[in-house]
Amino acid sequence: MRAAIVACSSLLVACSSVDFGGDLRALTPADVRGVYHFCTLRFTPYQTALPVANVLTSVIDATPAPPALPAAVTLSGTDSTFDMTYTRRGTGALRVVHGDVEYGPHSVFLYLTSQTPTIIQQEALLPPAHLDLVFDKATGRLTAGEEVSSYFVRLSDYASAAGISEEGLQDRIQGHVTAVFSSGSC
């Protein structure tokens, strides 16, 4: 028993001396405030026979004709909120999502205010609960990668975004999102 206690103590001391790459304080609204343009937004199904849906070429018009504004995520510098706006490709309809932001040491978590998935979440194949984004101060980018947990999207939304037929597919498609939003150029 004593050997186990000594081993655990040694492990705790070793872990406490590890350098995790800098400041572990949570980011603040002032750290990440700004307008982030959509660079990439893709939904990748876990069923490898299904194609990746590039949402920026099928659903979102990332650079619509004026007077419409480019697709963007705007993070407030004064409070923990965000706005996501884009123009729906094909219809020209303006889409706006408001939500709350939670801050981690290197990430921001975008939570939609509504607890029910909106048409915007569904058609853009966004996660139903929150979007986890890693912040890179040097590049001014927010990135969602493959480490984001999987979720299900409606078949009709996925098939439309992927440009495939719904025939023979399940009602819901499981996968994950990859995305890059940049405060500068893509």
pLDDT tens for 93-148 read: 999 988 999 999 999 999 976 666 677 888 999 988 889 999 999 999 999 966 66
pLDDT at site 5: 33
Q: Where are the domains of the chain?
A: 24-182
Average pLDDT over residues 5-9: 34
Q: Specify the pLDDT at position 9.
A: 35
Residues paired with residue 81 on neighbouring β-strands, in sequence order: 100
Torsion of CA 8, 12, 18, 22, to 10 degrees: 150
Task: Report residue 62 as tokens.
Answer: 């990332």
Q: Say which CATH architecture domain 24-182 belongs to.
A: Beta Barrel (2.40)
The C-alpha atoms of residue 92 and residue 74 are separated, in whole angstroms, by: 20
For 72-96, write each residue's pLDDT tens digit.
Answer: 999 999 999 999 999 999 899 999 9
Nearest Cα neighbor of 184 from 142, 144, 143, 140 is 140
Q: Is 0.75 surpassed by the pTM of this model? A: yes
The answer on pLDDT for 2 being more than 90 is no
Mean pLDDT value across residues 46-55? 96
